[in-house]
Amino acid sequence: MLGTGLLKGLAVTAKNFVGSYTTPERMVTVSYPEEKAPIGENYRSFPFLVCETPDDPMGTLRCVACQICEKECPPQCIYIEKSKDKKPDATGKQQFYPAIFDIDTSVCMSCGICAEVCPFDSIKMDKVFEVAPSNRFEGLLLKREQLAKSNAYYNEIRPAEASEVDTRLAADRKAAEEKAAAAAAAAAAKAAAAKAVPATPATPVGATPPSTPAPVAPATAVKPQPAPAPSASAPQPPAAS
Protein backbone atom coordinates (compact mmCIF):
# COMPACT_ATOMS: atom_id res chain seq x y z
CA MET A 1 0.00 0.00 0.00
CA LEU A 2 1.30 3.41 -0.90
CA GLY A 3 2.61 5.33 2.13
CA THR A 4 3.05 2.29 4.43
CA GLY A 5 6.78 3.00 4.93
CA LEU A 6 6.05 6.62 5.77
CA LEU A 7 3.53 5.59 8.42
CA LYS A 8 5.99 3.12 9.94
CA GLY A 9 8.64 5.84 10.18
CA LEU A 10 6.22 8.23 11.85
CA ALA A 11 5.27 5.52 14.34
CA VAL A 12 8.92 4.98 15.31
CA THR A 13 9.47 8.72 15.69
CA ALA A 14 6.38 9.11 17.87
CA LYS A 15 7.38 6.13 20.01
CA ASN A 16 10.85 7.55 20.67
CA PHE A 17 9.41 11.02 21.32
CA VAL A 18 7.00 9.81 23.96
CA GLY A 19 9.50 7.30 25.42
CA SER A 20 12.14 10.00 25.90
CA TYR A 21 9.91 11.60 28.54
CA THR A 22 9.10 8.39 30.37
CA THR A 23 12.18 6.14 30.03
CA PRO A 24 15.69 7.67 30.50
CA GLU A 25 17.30 4.79 28.57
CA ARG A 26 15.39 5.87 25.45
CA MET A 27 16.86 9.37 25.45
CA VAL A 28 18.64 10.01 22.17
CA THR A 29 20.16 13.37 23.13
CA VAL A 30 20.66 15.75 26.04
CA SER A 31 20.34 19.49 26.40
CA TYR A 32 24.06 20.22 26.06
CA PRO A 33 25.81 22.15 27.61
CA GLU A 34 23.28 22.42 30.44
CA GLU A 35 23.14 18.62 30.57
CA LYS A 36 26.13 16.44 29.83
CA ALA A 37 26.11 12.75 29.01
CA PRO A 38 28.50 10.53 31.02
CA ILE A 39 31.83 9.78 29.36
CA GLY A 40 33.02 6.18 29.18
CA GLU A 41 36.27 5.05 30.76
CA ASN A 42 37.80 4.22 27.37
CA TYR A 43 37.31 7.74 26.00
CA ARG A 44 40.57 9.60 25.41
CA SER A 45 41.36 13.19 24.55
CA PHE A 46 44.88 14.56 25.05
CA PRO A 47 47.77 13.09 27.09
CA PHE A 48 48.73 14.20 30.59
CA LEU A 49 51.68 13.48 32.90
CA VAL A 50 51.11 11.52 36.10
CA CYS A 51 52.64 12.85 39.33
CA GLU A 52 52.55 11.11 42.70
CA THR A 53 51.33 14.00 44.84
CA PRO A 54 49.42 17.15 43.86
CA ASP A 55 51.34 19.21 46.44
CA ASP A 56 54.62 18.82 44.52
CA PRO A 57 53.70 17.94 40.93
CA MET A 58 57.03 18.91 39.35
CA GLY A 59 59.04 17.06 41.99
CA THR A 60 57.05 13.82 41.83
CA LEU A 61 56.61 13.32 38.09
CA ARG A 62 56.98 9.70 37.02
CA CYS A 63 58.52 10.81 33.73
CA VAL A 64 62.29 10.24 33.47
CA ALA A 65 62.68 12.01 30.09
CA CYS A 66 63.54 8.82 28.21
CA GLN A 67 62.01 10.46 25.10
CA ILE A 68 60.47 7.24 23.81
CA CYS A 69 57.06 8.89 23.45
CA GLU A 70 58.64 11.77 21.54
CA LYS A 71 60.23 9.36 19.06
CA GLU A 72 57.14 7.15 18.67
CA CYS A 73 54.59 9.98 18.27
CA PRO A 74 53.23 9.77 14.68
CA PRO A 75 52.51 13.51 14.23
CA GLN A 76 55.61 14.51 16.28
CA CYS A 77 53.66 16.79 18.62
CA ILE A 78 55.75 16.04 21.74
CA TYR A 79 58.92 17.97 22.58
CA ILE A 80 61.14 16.96 25.52
CA GLU A 81 64.41 18.28 26.94
CA LYS A 82 66.18 16.10 29.52
CA SER A 83 67.49 17.62 32.73
CA LYS A 84 71.21 17.85 33.51
CA ASP A 85 70.85 16.53 37.07
CA LYS A 86 68.95 13.64 38.64
CA LYS A 87 66.38 13.21 41.39
CA PRO A 88 64.99 10.13 43.19
CA ASP A 89 61.91 8.57 41.61
CA ALA A 90 59.07 6.72 43.35
CA THR A 91 61.36 3.76 44.12
CA GLY A 92 64.20 5.95 45.40
CA LYS A 93 66.38 5.44 42.32
CA GLN A 94 68.16 8.49 40.93
CA GLN A 95 66.60 9.39 37.56
CA PHE A 96 66.58 12.23 35.06
CA TYR A 97 63.44 14.33 34.70
CA PRO A 98 62.01 16.50 31.89
CA ALA A 99 63.26 20.06 32.08
CA ILE A 100 60.84 20.84 29.22
CA PHE A 101 57.83 18.75 28.20
CA ASP A 102 55.49 20.32 25.62
CA ILE A 103 52.57 18.87 23.68
CA ASP A 104 51.10 20.71 20.71
CA THR A 105 47.41 19.83 20.87
CA SER A 106 46.79 21.41 17.47
CA VAL A 107 48.76 18.50 16.00
CA CYS A 108 47.94 15.72 18.48
CA MET A 109 45.44 13.20 17.15
CA SER A 110 44.80 11.43 20.48
CA CYS A 111 46.01 8.08 19.18
CA GLY A 112 47.33 6.99 22.60
CA ILE A 113 50.59 5.52 21.28
CA CYS A 114 52.61 7.62 23.73
CA ALA A 115 50.75 6.05 26.66
CA GLU A 116 51.21 2.54 25.24
CA VAL A 117 54.99 2.76 24.76
CA CYS A 118 55.82 4.54 28.05
CA PRO A 119 57.79 2.05 30.22
CA PHE A 120 57.24 4.08 33.41
CA ASP A 121 53.44 4.59 33.21
CA SER A 122 54.08 8.33 33.37
CA ILE A 123 51.94 9.53 30.46
CA LYS A 124 48.25 8.66 30.14
CA MET A 125 45.28 9.76 28.06
CA ASP A 126 42.91 12.27 29.62
CA LYS A 127 39.10 12.28 29.47
CA VAL A 128 38.52 16.03 29.17
CA PHE A 129 35.81 16.54 26.55
CA GLU A 130 35.79 20.34 26.33
CA VAL A 131 39.28 21.22 25.11
CA ALA A 132 38.62 24.30 22.99
CA PRO A 133 40.92 27.15 24.18
CA SER A 134 40.29 30.85 23.94
CA ASN A 135 43.72 31.42 22.36
CA ARG A 136 44.46 29.63 19.11
CA PHE A 137 48.27 29.70 19.54
CA GLU A 138 49.59 29.63 23.13
CA GLY A 139 46.43 27.93 24.36
CA LEU A 140 47.06 24.92 22.12
CA LEU A 141 50.64 24.37 23.37
CA LEU A 142 50.49 22.62 26.76
CA LYS A 143 53.53 22.91 29.07
CA ARG A 144 54.55 20.35 31.69
CA GLU A 145 52.95 22.47 34.44
CA GLN A 146 49.60 22.19 32.62
CA LEU A 147 50.11 18.51 31.79
CA ALA A 148 50.93 17.36 35.33
CA LYS A 149 47.99 15.72 37.13
CA SER A 150 47.99 13.60 40.26
CA ASN A 151 47.72 9.83 40.49
CA ALA A 152 44.47 10.33 42.42
CA TYR A 153 43.00 12.03 39.34
CA TYR A 154 44.20 9.12 37.20
CA ASN A 155 42.42 6.69 39.56
CA GLU A 156 39.29 8.81 39.31
CA ILE A 157 39.02 8.83 35.50
CA ARG A 158 40.35 5.31 34.82
CA PRO A 159 39.95 3.24 38.02
CA ALA A 160 40.49 -0.20 36.50
CA GLU A 161 43.63 0.72 34.58
CA ALA A 162 45.05 2.84 37.41
CA SER A 163 44.53 0.07 39.96
CA GLU A 164 46.54 -2.35 37.83
CA VAL A 165 49.35 0.19 37.43
CA ASP A 166 49.44 0.98 41.16
CA THR A 167 49.67 -2.72 42.02
CA ARG A 168 52.61 -3.20 39.67
CA LEU A 169 54.43 -0.10 40.92
CA ALA A 170 53.86 -1.15 44.55
CA ALA A 171 55.48 -4.52 43.79
CA ASP A 172 58.44 -2.74 42.16
CA ARG A 173 58.86 -0.47 45.18
CA LYS A 174 58.75 -3.44 47.56
CA ALA A 175 61.37 -5.30 45.52
CA ALA A 176 63.60 -2.21 45.49
CA GLU A 177 63.27 -1.81 49.27
CA GLU A 178 64.10 -5.48 49.87
CA LYS A 179 67.13 -5.22 47.58
CA ALA A 180 68.36 -2.10 49.40
CA ALA A 181 67.85 -3.77 52.80
CA ALA A 182 69.79 -6.85 51.67
CA ALA A 183 72.64 -4.68 50.36
CA ALA A 184 72.76 -2.75 53.66
CA ALA A 185 72.84 -5.97 55.68
CA ALA A 186 75.66 -7.36 53.54
CA ALA A 187 77.66 -4.15 53.93
CA ALA A 188 77.16 -4.21 57.71
CA ALA A 189 78.28 -7.85 57.92
CA LYS A 190 81.36 -7.08 55.84
CA ALA A 191 82.25 -4.12 58.06
CA ALA A 192 81.82 -6.21 61.22
CA ALA A 193 84.06 -8.95 59.82
CA ALA A 194 86.74 -6.42 58.88
CA LYS A 195 86.58 -4.92 62.37
CA ALA A 196 87.05 -8.32 64.04
CA VAL A 197 90.39 -9.00 62.25
CA PRO A 198 93.36 -7.09 63.91
CA ALA A 199 94.81 -4.62 61.56
CA THR A 200 98.54 -4.74 60.66
CA PRO A 201 100.31 -1.43 61.48
CA ALA A 202 101.09 0.48 58.37
CA THR A 203 104.72 1.18 57.39
CA PRO A 204 105.60 4.91 57.27
CA VAL A 205 106.22 6.38 53.85
CA GLY A 206 109.90 6.01 52.88
CA ALA A 207 110.69 3.55 55.64
CA THR A 208 111.93 0.03 54.96
CA PRO A 209 109.71 -2.60 56.47
CA PRO A 210 111.53 -4.74 59.04
CA SER A 211 112.86 -7.97 57.63
CA THR A 212 111.93 -11.20 59.25
CA PRO A 213 115.03 -13.25 60.15
CA ALA A 214 115.26 -16.63 58.53
CA PRO A 215 114.82 -19.54 60.90
CA VAL A 216 118.16 -21.10 62.08
CA ALA A 217 118.46 -24.84 61.84
CA PRO A 218 119.55 -26.58 65.10
CA ALA A 219 123.25 -27.54 65.32
CA THR A 220 124.11 -31.18 64.71
CA ALA A 221 126.84 -32.83 66.91
CA VAL A 222 129.85 -34.15 64.94
CA LYS A 223 130.83 -37.69 65.85
CA PRO A 224 134.67 -38.29 66.36
CA GLN A 225 136.33 -40.49 63.75
CA PRO A 226 137.86 -43.75 65.24
CA ALA A 227 141.73 -44.16 65.18
CA PRO A 228 143.14 -46.56 62.58
CA ALA A 229 143.88 -50.06 63.94
CA PRO A 230 147.63 -51.20 64.17
CA SER A 231 148.88 -53.59 61.48
CA ALA A 232 149.33 -57.24 62.58
CA SER A 233 152.53 -57.86 60.50
CA ALA A 234 156.04 -57.14 62.03
CA PRO A 235 157.99 -54.20 60.80
CA GLN A 236 160.67 -55.00 58.08
CA PRO A 237 164.31 -54.09 58.72
CA PRO A 238 165.94 -51.65 56.38
CA ALA A 239 167.80 -53.19 53.45
CA ALA A 240 171.66 -53.46 53.69
CA SER A 241 173.70 -51.34 51.42
Q: How many CA atoms lie within 13 A of 45 on its CB side?
A: 14
**Residue 195: pLDDT band by 50, 70, 90 thresholds?**
confident
Q: Which residue has the higher pLDDT, 137 or 14?
A: 14
Distance of CA 179 to CAs 34, 83, 121, 196, Å?
Answer: 55, 27, 22, 26
Q: How many CA atoms lie within 13 A of 138 on its CB side?
A: 0
Class for the domain spanning 47-170: alpha beta
Domain boundaries along the sequence of the chain:
47-170
Task: State CA 70 to chain mean position distance.
Answer: 18
pLDDT tens digits, 32-46: 888 888 888 889 999
**Residue 241: pLDDT band by 50, 70, 90 thresholds?**
very low
Q: Which residue has the higher pLDDT, 215 or 53?
A: 53
Report how far residue 41's alpha carbon sits from residue 161's, in angstroms, rounded to the nearest whole number.
Answer: 9
Query: pTM higher than 0.75 for the full model?
Result: no
Q: Which residue has the higher pLDDT, 27 or 7?
A: 7
Residues 174-183 have a mean pLDDT of 87
Rounded (5°) CA angle 184-186-187? 65
**Residue 159: pLDDT band by 50, 70, 90 thresholds?**
very high
